[in-house]
Amino acid sequence: KNEVEQSPQNLTAQEGEFITINCSYSVGISALHWLQQHPGGGIVSLFMLSSGKKKHGRLIATINIQEKHSSLHITASHPRDSAVYICAAPNNNDMRFGAGTRLTVKP
């Protein structure tokens, strides 16, 4: 069992739909990261959160430390949101990554 698991692995949505990507982790962490990797390969850090909820534009990230679960939501999805979304959990002096969720938003 991976220490950081994401679901779904692939997700296809129509423009405008509400998207949810889930991340469960088994390692003890102080904060969880959500990353976005564009088709060209570049990685952007979206959120780092240790409790509750954070919002940035149409993106919302939540975390439940007790349940070791985090979700990334995208409201009013757009084709430009198409990317791979990766959650990452720092553990001691290491960082463990989920396998990523490939999101495709169709116009």
Partner 1 sequence: DSGVTQTPKHLITATGQRVTLRCSPRSGDLSVYWYQQSLDQGLQFLIQYYNGEERAKGNILERFSAQQFPDLHSELNLSSLELGDSALYFCASSVTNNEQFFGPGTRLTVL
Contact residues: partner 1, CB under 8 A:
33, 35, 41-45, 48, 86, 88, 90, 92-97, 99-100
Closest among 31, 23, 17, 16 to 2, alpha carbons compared = 23
User: Taking the complex as a whole, how short is the minimal distance between the CB of residue 63 and partner 1, in angstroms?
Assistant: 15
Nearer to partner 1, 2 or 64 (CB): 2
Q: Which is nearer to partner 1, 17 or 102 (CB)?
A: 102
**Closer residue to partner 1 (CB): 58 or 97:** 97
Least separation in angstroms between CB 69 and partner 1 = 20
C-beta of 83 vs 88, nearer to partner 1: 88
What's the closest the beta carbon of residue 47 comes to partner 1, in angstroms? 8
Cβ contacts of residue 71 below 8 Å, gap of 6+?
A: 20, 21, 22, 23, 61, 62
The number of CA neighbours under 13 Å toward the Cβ of 103 is 29
CB 91 within 8 A of CB 29: yes
Q: Which residues contact 102 (CB under 8 A, 6 or more apart)?
A: 9, 10, 11, 84
**CB 86 → partner 1: shortest distance, Å?**
6
Q: Two tokens at 100?
A: 């990523």
